[in-house]
Amino acid sequence: MDISAPHTTTDPRSFKSFAEFYPFYLGEHSNRTCRRLHFVGSTLTLVCLAMLVATGKPQYLLYGLLCGYGFAWVGHFGFEKNKPASFKRPLYSFMGDWVMYKDIWTGKVPF
């Protein structure tokens, strides 16, 4: 998968399908540190969701959101130097997070 160059001039709202959006999403994550922060945030989110199920304590939902978005936004603003696509395409961006997470695990996207 090509993640070499961000598509900074493309408006994320212009995509008609997730299949069209995902290459753009990967381009917005060309910085390895940004991808790693996304991966860590997503992993911690899954841990928080497991804790929610195990304990029934609703604060773990908040912790999961903070982990997922917090790590991602640090990656974008601090390393990628762009704005997260979730500001303009929240559903596709959420889907992209989890597809990229799977693609990192399976080796399709470099970690």
**Which tens digit of pLDDT belongs to each residue from 53-103?**
999 999 999 999 999 999 999 999 999 999 988 888 999 999 999 999 999
What are the extents of the domains in the chain? 32-105
DSSP 3-state of 71? helix
pLDDT of residue 86: 87
User: Which pLDDT value is given to residue 98?
Assistant: 97
Three-state SS across 40-95? HHHHHHHHHHHHHHHHCCCHHHHHHHHHHHHHHHHHHHHHHCCCCHHHCCHHHHHH
The pLDDT, as a whole number, for residue 10 is: 81
> What local confidence, expressed as pLDDT, does residue 12 receive?
85
| Residue 87 burial by Cβ neighbours in a 10 Å radius (0-12, 13-18, 19+) | exposed
